[in-house]
Structure formats: structure tokens, C-alpha cells
Chains A and B, each alone.
Chain A
């Protein structure tokens, strides 16, 4: 079975440009999570969705960041405008919903570099 698929794997762009990261969760999973990983701050949860609805976006750093999940098989994380401090690895993860909390399955990440 296909795991969580993220694209692109690498993105290099200049400051001020719009960046869009994409994620396809595992089929049948109805929870989706976006994380950011840096050396300084470790793994941070940015936002998560249940059944395509954003549940907790308290980790989104500022208004430059936005996330959408238009359907059960696709989500985007957008940064506009991008800044050098946004450089990080961004992970998408998915899980079955419900209680108790289930194991999350991670994609291979998008390594983002903002020049």
C-alpha cells in the first residue's frame, strides 16, 4: 500500500515567493497533520485536520502560513510570502481518526530552503 506522499521533495526559492507543499494521505485515514522540523525547534505540529476540517491550527507560526484540505485525499500547506526563517523540513502525516489516538504515518518530507 502507498504511504503518505509529499511533493516536492526539495524546494529552493527566493524570499518573498509563494511556496506550496502538497500531501496525499493514506487512503482511509481521516486525520492529517502538518509538522515542521528544524535543528533549533525540533518537530513542531503546525495544524491538523479531522475529516477535512481544521481542528487545531495553534501551531501555525503566523498569517503567512495557510493550510487547506479540499478533500480526503489531498492537502496543501502554503507560505506567502516566504522568508529565510521558514527554511525547514515539512512533514505531512496521516492516521485513522477516533479515540484513542492512533499511530501517525509520516511522509518523507519536503526540504524547503528560502534564499
Chain B
């Protein structure tokens, strides 16, 4: 069965610092990978997705993620964090043959210190 691991439950960074949030997936076939952000009181918003092709994908709000098949990882990065980036971030994976379901990680709560 497919699974997604987000090893960091909480991360704190200073405003202006770089950010990397980790995501590891477990599945043998080609994964379809997503990152979402959830602000308090809101639903999940899609940041970016990877289906195929270039392993470095750009998303909204200045985020990017890199797919590394050899490491089964899809880490989210941002060069310079803004205070408004404080939120919870979810990685998700789907696969062909799994219907339209996505499996979500448990999330990483990002705190930004001013």
C-alpha cells in the first residue's frame, strides 16, 4: 500500500531564512506527488504537483519541490520564508490504478519567527 511520511511534525525558521520540508513516499510504481498548504480555519490549497518530466517543479507563493526517485523523496523548498508562510503543509501521493484517491502525510506545522 502506498504511504507518505513527513518526518518533521514542527519546524521553526526565521523570516528570510530558507526552508526545506521533507516528504518520503513508499510505492514501487511512478508516483504522482502533491504539496498542499493549510492556513488556520481554511481548507487545503494546492501549492504544486509532480506528474512527470522535469524533476524540479515550481509552484505558487515562491515554493518549489524536487522529485528524487532514488531517495523516494519530494521535498518542498523556499529560498526565503515570509511570516505569512506560517501554516501546515501536507504532502500527498497518488498512483495509477489507485482510483483518484490521494494518500496524505500527517503534515508539518511551520512556525516563522520574526
* A and B associate: yes
Q: Count chain B residues whose beta carbon lies closer than 8 angstroms to a beta carbon of A.
A: 24
Q: Count chain A residues whose beta carbon lies closer than 8 angstroms to a beta carbon of B.
A: 26
- CB of A104 within 8 A of chain B? yes
- CB of B27 within 8 A of chain A? no
For B28, list chain A residues within 8 Å (CB): none
**Residue pair B100, A95 in contact (C-beta under 8 Å):** yes
A105 to B95, CA, bound (A): 18
**Residue pair A56, B43 in contact (C-beta under 8 Å):** no
A105 to B49, CA, bound (A): 13
Which stretch (B17-25, B70-78, B79-87, B102-110) binds chain A? B102-110
Q: Point out residues on A near B: beta carbons under 8 Å.
A: 4, 31, 33, 42-43, 45, 48, 50, 55-56, 91, 93, 95, 97-109
